[in-house]
Amino acid sequence: MLKVSRLMRSRLLRVIDLAQVIHLNDKPTSGFQVNLDDKLIMKRSFVGVFLATMLTMFAAHAEALGIMVPAYFYPSSGDYWDSLDFAASRAPLIAIMNVNSGPGTSRDSAYVQALAKLHLAGGKVTGYVYTSYGTRPLADVEADIDLYLSFYAVDRFLIDEMASDENTNHLDYYAAIYQYIKAKGTNYSVTGNPGSNTQEDYITRPTTDSLALFENDGTNYPSFTPSSWVAKYPAWQFVHVPYDVATATTMSNYVGLAVSRNAGWIYITDAMFPNPYDTLPSYWTNEVNLVQTLNTASLPVNSTFAHIAIDGSFDDWTGVPLAYTSPAGPSNAIQYENVYIANDQTDLYIRFTLYSPRAAFQNSYDNIFIDADDNFSTGYLVGDIGSEMLIQNGAGYQEKSGQFNAGGINNLAWHIAGSANSMDWELSISLGATYAIGGAAVFSNSTIAILLEGDTPSYATGILVPLSGGLVYTFAPAPPGPLSISYSGGKAIISWPGSGTLQSCGLLTHGGTWTNVPGAGSPYSIPSTNTPRFFRLIQP
């Protein structure tokens, strides 16, 4: 995938040609760490980076989406490989290692250690091998494969500068490489990189297990159309790599395009020619979070209608089921344990117990994020939900279009109370809350997603509840009734609040049958008679 890939043929340079620029005695001249844990907190008055609205087709994405990173940077402590480790713990990730336009001539202990750490984090490693579009001697290609297997614990191979025509000699050439690798072990996967549309024969022969069908300047990506035969195969067999993609907004839109084009692996970067792979993109955190979000299912919880008094006495929570149990987080952040959720006509209620006592939500470290439309592609992307409202220290903040603080919240009616030992807490939020800007209702959807967060004193994320996705809660309707009866003009008038289906029965003893009263709405009137009739209201 670029040697730095020669997809651009004469325009892009080999890594070996860049060695004098990026290495001194096999050590990088400089480097910096991409910190995936950076927190945007209200105390910093920070407005988050805009993330574009995701395409609605994401919700129907059936396969896990992965990131295949051309990791053409030397491993060193606190360097980009550390960021790959963290990303691999959150999303499927493959790092393409390229020591020197191939495996190099000797084992490098820095790479050995970097690969071991990445494997421990759940990532995979592929070894880069170039083929000069079918003209490089097979013996040289095979020698590179052997050196990788001798030096490093690689999981797969990237065959770069792959021909894309129907030339039988080329098909034979790549089939021979494929067979050579598979003879070393059928577990070794092979990705071919023509960098553009190619012939189906390269898959069916086979000459490769997967293909990189786009590797080019990002300005060309919107007009790229995969060959029609691509749709017949699973997404994991295709890789798309646009580079020189300037903004996180464009990146997120391109991820949507990749999914719609049946790509199962992507890498999008703002780095550019002549070497777009000697660094990670400035929006790396956003890219990893987005992929993780697409792969994460939220956690539905039971809905319960209950009237709760926020008074530090928890008897009125009887019958509300446990929504989630969290593992203990770090001791310097709030340690949520059990979470319960309920609602009535006017309020949302949340109860949580703690592993250790704490004055909860009386600081800027304990946060509630609410995805008010249950759509991660709107609001502010945090912990795999798209939050429309943040509650911090008893105050509400609107979040929209990727903004962390887009305005205030009115009518929040925040109440919180804890047990005497500060181990059990209950709180309420008004369902009548509105956005200060525009006055629209926050809770305009019947289903929401809730995320509890605990920060450390340095505002690093200590715990997310749930650990991935959100607690998806559908508001419970009020139970039907009660029925009331009055008399007027010789008629009995039956009334009830809210919804419900009115049923009647002539006998309450064995043999009586309850049937729906056709067209009955409140108030419902019937002539008074001497014949007994019984009525009840059932939940719709």
Task: Give the model's pLDDT for residue 36.
Answer: 25
Q: How, if at all, do strands 238-243 and 210-217 pair?
A: parallel
In this structure, the answer to whether residues 278 and 416 fall within a common structural domain is no
Does the structure show a pLDDT above 70 at 64? yes
In this structure, the answer to whether residues 167 and 228 fall within a common structural domain is yes
Q: Are 494 and 484 in contact (CB under 8 A)?
A: yes
The stretch 342-370 carries a mean pLDDT of: 96
CA distance 534 to 513: 11
**Boundary of a domain, candidates 420, 445, 474:** 474
From residue 512, alpha-carbon distances to 180, 462, 505, 519, 540 in Å are 79, 59, 6, 21, 21
Tokens found for residue 215 = 């590797």
Model confidence pLDDT, tens digit, residues 393-436 = 999 999 998 888 999 999 999 999 999 999 999 999 999 999 99
| φ, ψ at 72 (rounded to 5°) | -90, 50
Model confidence pLDDT, tens digit, residues 307-325 = 999 999 999 999 999 998 8
In this structure, the answer to whether residues 157 and 227 fall within a common structural domain is yes
The stretch 348-375 carries a mean pLDDT of: 94
pLDDT class of 522 with cuts at 50, 70, 90: confident
Residue 421: Cβ within 10 Å count: 8
CATH classification at residue 390: 2.60.40
Q: Decide: helix, strand or coil at residue 523.
A: coil
Residue 1 resides in a domain: no
In this structure, the answer to whether residues 317 and 426 fall within a common structural domain is yes
pLDDT class of 283 with cuts at 50, 70, 90: very high
In this structure, the answer to whether residues 208 and 173 fall within a common structural domain is yes
Q: What percent of the chain has pLDDT over 70?
A: 86
* Segments of 344-387 assigned E as strands: 347-354, 366-371, 380-382, 385-387
Q: How big, in percent rounded to 5, are the helix, strand and coil portions of the chain?
A: 20, 30, 50
Task: Give the model's pLDDT for residue 297.
Answer: 65
Closest by Cα among 271, 276, 206, 264 to 240: 264
Top-confidence residue, 302 or 128: 128
pLDDT class of 367 with cuts at 50, 70, 90: very high
Residue 59 resides in a domain: no
CA distance 87 to 101: 25
In this structure, the answer to whether residues 360 and 502 fall within a common structural domain is no
CATH classification at residue 241: 3.20.20.80
Q: Which domain holds residue 411?
A: 300-474
Residue 527 resides in a domain: yes
Task: Give the model's pLDDT for residue 1.
Answer: 61
Tokens found for residue 446 = 């019947």
In this structure, the answer to whether residues 141 and 271 fall within a common structural domain is yes
Tokens found for residue 113 = 């250690």
Task: Give the model's pLDDT for residue 496.
Answer: 83
Q: Which residue type, as a one-letter code, is found at position 334?
A: I
pLDDT class of 291 with cuts at 50, 70, 90: confident
In this structure, the answer to whether residues 185 and 269 fall within a common structural domain is yes
The stretch 94-107 carries a mean pLDDT of: 96
In this structure, the answer to whether residues 371 and 387 fall within a common structural domain is yes
Does the structure show a pLDDT above 60 at 45? no
Task: Give the model's pLDDT for residue 464.
Answer: 86
In this structure, the answer to whether residues 68 and 168 fall within a common structural domain is yes
Residue 182, class by beta-carbon neighbours within 10 Å (0-12 exposed, 13-18 middle, 19+ buried)?
A: middle
Does the structure show a pLDDT above 70 at 19? no
Domain count, the chain: 3
Task: Give the model's pLDDT for residue 78.
Answer: 64
Comparing 45-54, 229-238, 323-332, 379-388, the range with the smallest average pLDDT is 45-54
Tokens found for residue 429 = 């939020």
CA distance 175 to 167: 12
| Element spanning 252, H or E | helix 248-260
The stretch 259-281 carries a mean pLDDT of: 93
Residue 42 resides in a domain: no
pLDDT class of 360 with cuts at 50, 70, 90: very high
29 backbone φψ class: left, alpha, beta (φ>0; ψ -120 to 50): alpha
CA distance 46 to 61: 32
Task: Give the model's pLDDT for residue 98.
Answer: 96
Task: Give the model's pLDDT for residue 491.
Answer: 87
Let me know how long the chain is.
540
Residue 207 resides in a domain: yes
pLDDT class of 29 with cuts at 50, 70, 90: very low
Task: Give the model's pLDDT for residue 398.
Answer: 97
Closest by Cα among 122, 124, 239 to 187: 124
**Boundary of a domain, candidates 474, 492, 517:** 474
Model confidence pLDDT, tens digit, residues 196-252 = 999 999 999 999 999 999 999 999 999 999 999 999 998 899 999 999 999 988 998
Average pLDDT, the chain: 85
pLDDT class of 58 with cuts at 50, 70, 90: very low
**Boundary of a domain, candidates 274, 295, 316:** 295
Does the structure show a pLDDT above 70 at 385? yes
CA distance 180 to 301: 51
Residue 170 resides in a domain: yes
Residue 369 resides in a domain: yes
The stretch 89-115 carries a mean pLDDT of: 95
The stretch 140-157 carries a mean pLDDT of: 98
In this structure, the answer to whether residues 245 and 350 fall within a common structural domain is no
Task: Give the model's pLDDT for residue 313.
Answer: 95
pLDDT class of 356 with cuts at 50, 70, 90: very high
In this structure, the answer to whether residues 250 and 109 fall within a common structural domain is yes
The stretch 39-63 carries a mean pLDDT of: 33
pLDDT class of 62 with cuts at 50, 70, 90: very low
Residue 479 resides in a domain: no
